[in-house]
Amino acid sequence: ETGVTQSPTHLIKTRGQQVTLRCSSQSGHNTVSWYQQALGQGPQFIFQYYREEENGRGNFPPRFSGLQFPNYSSELNVNALELDDSALYLCASSPYEEMNTEAFFGQGTRLTVV
């Protein structure tokens, strides 16, 4: 079990609604990356946050946005939910300055859009 905590564990939302997912990083880890994992597929990179700023983004529309707080925790916000947004959302934390150090993933938030 890693020190990365995600909340909530499960969530059901209606199409068009907005959702906020939360991630507390491993102690000492200042970088948080978010991933979307559709059923039966591998995780896909959404974006990464370092020093409270976005530090790289995957191929996701602007309605996917995020925040990082001074304590390194992070939020993923998704606006105007679509049915295809149903997925497991994972966050991973790592120490940016320590190269060759593995990241730790949380257990994810299972989002269902109906």
Partner 1 sequence: LAKTTQPISMDSYEGQEVNITCSHNNIATNDYITWYQQFPSQGPRFIIQGYKTKVTNEVASLFIPADRKSSTLSLPRVSLSDTAVYYCLVGEGDMIKAAGNKLTFGGGTRVLVKP
Q: Which residue type, as a one-letter code, is found at position 20?
A: T
Q: Does residue 90 interact with partner 1 by CB under 8 A?
A: yes
- Applying CB under 8 A, among 78, 92, 111, 113 the residue interacting with partner 1 is 92
55 in Cβ contact with 67 (< 8 Å)? no
Q: Does residue 60 interact with partner 1 by CB under 8 A?
A: no
Span near partner 1 by CB under 8 A; candidates 12-20, 62-70, 79-87, 92-100: 92-100
Q: Name, in order, each residue with C-beta under 8 angstroms of 102's C-beta and a sequence gap of 6 or more.
A: 94
**Separation of alpha carbons 15 and 87, rounded Å:** 14
The first and second tokens of residue 108, run together, are 């994810």
Binders of partner 1 in range 24-53 (CB under 8 A): 31, 33, 35, 40-45, 48
Q: Does residue 4 interact with partner 1 by CB under 8 A?
A: yes
Phi and psi (nearest 5°) for 83?
A: -55, -35
Residue reference for tokens 């790592």: 94
- Applying CB under 8 A, among 3, 16, 56, 61 the residue interacting with partner 1 is 56
- Residues of this chain that bind partner 1 (CB under 8 A): 2, 4, 31, 33, 35, 40-45, 48, 55-56, 58, 90, 92, 94, 99-108
